[in-house]
Structure 1
Amino acid sequence: MDRVSPAKRRENMQRIKAKDSVPELAVRRTLRALGVHYRLHVRNLPGSPDIVIRRRRLVIFVHGCFWHRHPGCRRAYVPSTRTEWWLHKFQTNVDRDNRAIAALLEKGWKVFVIWECETKNQEILDKVVRNILAECPILADEGTQ
């Protein structure tokens, strides 16, 4: 049995954002500080990636550890109530993520995932973002953003 009333559960779930989440804003701030130009939630790309850097042919998904099942992360726990429902929900999320990543790779994009827990520490986030950018140099034949 759920420990919270249905009304409270609904309120909690409605506060979960798909866009402009705290982890996503942290990644965007880091990219801006590095002078990187990007687009947000490009709908004509598979999975509508959180961040698209066309000049590098690079997409970044900023995934919540809980919802997208970050392997080995303490935030990727399974709730103790309605376990079967949650496991099914998590599996559909992971399957959808994998399909989007495969489609992007097939189209020639480089795909990276930055996990929510990596955004909690600015030094770690800076290192992750710099490593991603180092792997994806600016393409000479691309125009401006």
Structure 2
Amino acid sequence: MTGREAGAGAGGGSRAPANTGFRSRRGDVGGTSPPSQSLALNTGIDAPLTLRRIHRVPAWNATGDQPAQWTLIDFTCPDDSGDELAQQLAAALAPGRWYADYATGTTTWVVFAGRIFTYPRGDDTGRNEAIAYARNVGVPEAQLDWPR
């Protein structure tokens, strides 16, 4: 699994770090991990992640309740840890627009606080269920560009 920790809010993408979580356009599980601001107090992620890089970028579409810059953490993780990571994220993410999304070559995960969407890549029904939920919690439309 590969990943990156991105800034605040909701959303993510490979074009640039958006306001959330895990994103990968590669063949392994991974993407952009949620920023430290997205985690609820007294929680954490304990999945087997290997640090690849930490860097900061300006937030280009932050709203008034989001920070002006994001800290990105690139990581790798075994493909078979996708479900374990989703469970940990669902327990650790702060309620609201925060989410994490990541994928293998065959499976996509979209994770919110207390809610996990897992579906086969290319499954528009599963993807649309995750998008409907994201819209309901206020994720901006531009950030609903998860891999198909």
> If the length of structure 1 is used for normalisation, what is the TM-score?
0.30
More helix by share: 1
Q: TM-score, normalised by structure 2?
A: 0.29
Higher Rg of the two aligned structures: 1
Higher strand share goes to which structure?
2
